[in-house]
Amino acid sequence: MILVKIHQAYRYIVAVCDSDLIDKKFEDGNKQLDLTGNFFKGEEKTEEEVGEIILDMQLEDATFNIVGKKSCELAKKQGLISEGGIIHIGGVPIALVLM
């Protein structure tokens, strides 16, 4: 499953993360990915539901934080990111989208 959490600041921030990565830390040299906090701990959604949220939030000029293979693949399928916009930390794909 994929977790989605929508934060509201001066704009929406959409956190999308593969559920199996929650509560883990990854390191790669001086880079660290810490998924132990609450930022990514959202509601479990199906890929279809997450796809709809991505499309809706793009219309709201949201920013996106996307972590995990399933989440990044879905964001690519929705046209939100491309392969060139993905980095890896500890083997985990990550993409940040600022609209």
Which residue reads 């132990």 in tokens?
36
Q: 86 or 99, which is more confident?
A: 86
Structural domain boundaries in the chain: 2-97
- For the entire predicted model, the pTM comes to 0.94
| Interval 83-90 mean pLDDT | 96
- Angle among Cα 53, 44, 87 to the nearest 5 degrees reads 70
Q: Is the CB of residue 11 less than 8 Å from the CB of residue 57?
A: no
Predicted confidence (pLDDT) per residue in 25-56, tens digit: 999 999 999 999 999 999 999 999 999 999 99
Report whether pLDDT(9) > 90: no
Determine how β-strand 25-28 pairs with β-strand 31-34: antiparallel
State how far the Cα of 59 lies from the Cα of 54, in Å rounded to an integer. Answer: 9
> Is 2-97 assigned to CATH 3.30.1860.10?
yes
**Per-residue pLDDT for 99 more than 80?**
no
User: pLDDT value at position 85?
Assistant: 94
